[in-house]
Amino acid sequence: QKEVEQNSGPLSVPEGAIASLNCTYSDRVSQSFFWYRQYSGKSPELIMSIYSNGDKEDGRFTAQLNKASQYVSLLIRDSQPSDSATYLCAVNPGRKYGNKLVFGAGTILRVKS
């Protein structure tokens, strides 16, 4: 079982719609959660971090965390063609694993104008 799982996509949404990206993780004691955006040929860029259950909003982005269900999601409101990228979910499984980040394989998002 992969430690961090994401649907590879591609997820296609029309411009202006809400894009919903999902991620599940296997280690129940995971402490912190991150979303990175990666454009083709570029390196990952941190866009959101979340540490507590519930929602965290930053501009058009909302991260949602449900530790009981071991589930974290990223919502992108008013999607723009410039949001087209691969979105990587990363999980810090905690001190037991040296606080390293474990990444999913990413979900490809395509926003069509």
**What residues make contact with another protein under the rule CB under 8 A?**
4, 8, 31-32, 34, 36, 42-46, 49, 51, 88, 90, 92, 95, 98-101, 103-106
User: Closest CB to another protein among 1 and 43?
Assistant: 43
User: Closest CB to another protein among 72 and 106?
Assistant: 106
Per DSSP, which regions of the chain are E strands? 4-6, 11-14, 19-25, 32-38, 45-50, 54-58, 61-66, 71-76, 85-92, 102-103, 107-112
Q: How many CA atoms lie within 13 A of 103 on its CB side?
A: 13
User: Closest CB to another protein among 52 and 80?
Assistant: 52
Shortest distance, CB of residue 8 to another protein, whole angstroms?
8
